[in-house]
A and B are shown apart, each in its own frame.
Chain A
């Protein structure tokens, strides 16, 4: 908690606030990252961040009193959970791998299928999902924060509000503000590529960068720009992961869509692997989006194994092998029929694949490494 506060104060002190960016005010960020976009209606303050930090770690907002946001977004695990798919109350399993919160502030949509537009609106969903925190509604949260003395004090300081004036809007805004402080740049790659430190990356990682932007074609989706690198295009692609879960015919597709309509997207996709496999289609119902998932950032990827939206790849080596074979683990595996056109066999040598992994390991921000 203290660390993030210090970080934010540092940012405020160096006068990096307030570049106007669209409807947002932006906070400057470390080397390799653009200013952090901040919504106009939720300006950053140290008090709000402190409150959000506490809310983020509070296990009382779950049906069993054992699960908080931090259960699946654990600072010690790169703000992910190290599991293939997340476990909520009573060890109930979802269908998707917890994405890191680090740099989530930059994403144009939240969740693997982009079903929520902002950190604020995203933050309210897991409380109510039966396989996550399992509350029936948000009332228990409001009851606690309106009565708990520490929260009463924090809400007063952050929003100047108390009692019934505190609603989920303030809760969401505080969590969103906290998450906007979880910014990770300043990796060996950043120092090498943007900072001009020629020895910041190992020779293998430098060769890996060359594979990344050329023959590997990784950069087409995991974007690196002239002055910054988010390593995501914020788009959705069907890359072949868990293709065997996808609806095989119209009946199965109809059933999955019916599931979404009845339970709502958030609950339907996290409680049924078949429905989950729809990906972005569950949100847009556009055929191009069947099985398409959001391009995740690659920053700090070494800290957040296992990989892919279903956690089906244990190591970065496996991920590279999967892409090298054009969206499948082995050349003999069948090609997924609705595979995105960008996914093609890469013909990388063993050494190129190893170099690529070394490059991915150079994307780690030092402040998130456990010492």
Chain B
């Protein structure tokens, strides 16, 4: 496909170019008939705050979240709100959640929270619910309907196995390539709630869904996967503009399934490699995903980051802030009908990843 760069910039890109400083946002003018107002929000995710002992926490993960908060406070104009995309803690401990919240408290602005599996599987979300937020909820902002899902639930017979110590369950869910793991699930209760929640929303209203795991099936051994993703997608299908934003994968991914645009956000803690290049097992990584330059081990923040998101067209323009790397932007291209990277490369033109280790 011959991508005409100018045309791409014109259709998708007016909101893409974040000026260098201050991080001002390019405002898109809306049609006078649009009820959606121009706004932006920030997104920080996957901090994985990890307690070593007592008041000692893993420094690297602390510094990642501290940096994101500090940088996000330098955004201007101020984003309307912030999202935290889940995995505030590493092993769901109160100490970890409290320490994470302490750092997050320095963020200027309202924060909505998404639960990650690392926050959940020690006490099944009890402390989270008492201290931070419900597991799933929705809110409206300037003409956009936002839905927060808890997509990291799983099957009851796994949850209530004879674990002995609940920490064993937490550790089992935290492990990649765990043959005794269990796939993520939104579950019947939430699906029923979601159906009801969406009933009252007009089909032209832009919908943005926040989940921790991708509401699409990418790679099961690492739980880049939600088992009932199809059921969630079916509920979202009638709407004209739908975006799903998820954490968990610690890398830039984007995809389009029917009317739904998918975007992943970066972790502040560490990057995951691309399952495609790492495992050589079958996977469904979206073809449009452009791998980023990978981390130089000296720069511990390289390949981590956070993002601010421009919703001015009712579709998302993701601006990835990547310390020690090149910032990236991914936005919906109205001409091709899918999200694309500003520095989009045709699949055939890419340098193939190294797949031997």
Contact = CB atoms under 8 A, between A and B. Distances in A.
A249 B323 contact: no
Contact of B301 (A249, A253, A341): A341
Interface of A: 220, 249-250, 253-254, 257, 284-288, 335, 337-342, 344
B66 A257 contact: no
B324 A341 contact: yes
Contacts of B66: 335, 337
Contacts of B59: 344
A232 to B, nearest CB: 15
Contact of B67 (A254, A284, A337, A344): A337
Interface in B263-310: 298-302
Identify whether the interface residues of B are mostly helix, strand, loop, or mixed: loop
Contact of B323 (A287, A335, A344): A287
Given A285-B21, A341-B63, A341-B324, A253 B74 contact: yes
Contacts of A337: 66-67, 70
B63 A339 contact: yes
A285 B298 contact: no
Interface string B19-63: 011110000000000000000000000000000000000011001
Closest 3 CB pairs between A and B? A341-B300, A285-B20, A285-B21
Contact of A250 (B73, B301, B324): B73
A24 B41 CA distance: 49
B321 interface: yes
Nearest to B302: A341
Contacts of B324: 288, 341
A284 B324 CA distance: 13
B71 interface: yes
Contacts of A335: 63, 66
B73 A249 contact: yes
Contact of A253 (B22, B300, B302): B22
Given A250-B76, A287-B321, A288-B324, A342 B298 contact: yes
B299 to A, nearest CB: 5
Interface string B302-336: 10000000000000000001011000000000000
Q: Which of A284, A288, A340, A344 has the most CB of B within 10 A?
A: A288
Contacts, number: 49
Contacts of A287: 23, 71, 74, 321, 323
Given A250-B73, A257-B21, A344-B59, 19 more contacts: A220-B298, A249-B74, A250-B22, A250-B74, A285-B20, A287-B71, A287-B74, A287-B323, A335-B66, A337-B66, A337-B70, A339-B63, A340-B299, A341-B63, A341-B298, A341-B301, A341-B302, A341-B324, A342-B299
Contacts of B75: 250
Contacts of A288: 323-324
Contacts of B63: 335, 339, 341
B70 A342 contact: no
24 contacts: A249-B73, A249-B74, A250-B75, A253-B21, A253-B22, A253-B74, A254-B22, A254-B76, A287-B23, A287-B71, A287-B74, A287-B321, A288-B324, A335-B63, A335-B66, A337-B67, A338-B70, A339-B63, A341-B63, A341-B301, A341-B302, A341-B324, A342-B298, A342-B299
Nearest to A281: B21
Nearest to A326: B59
Nearest to A286: B20
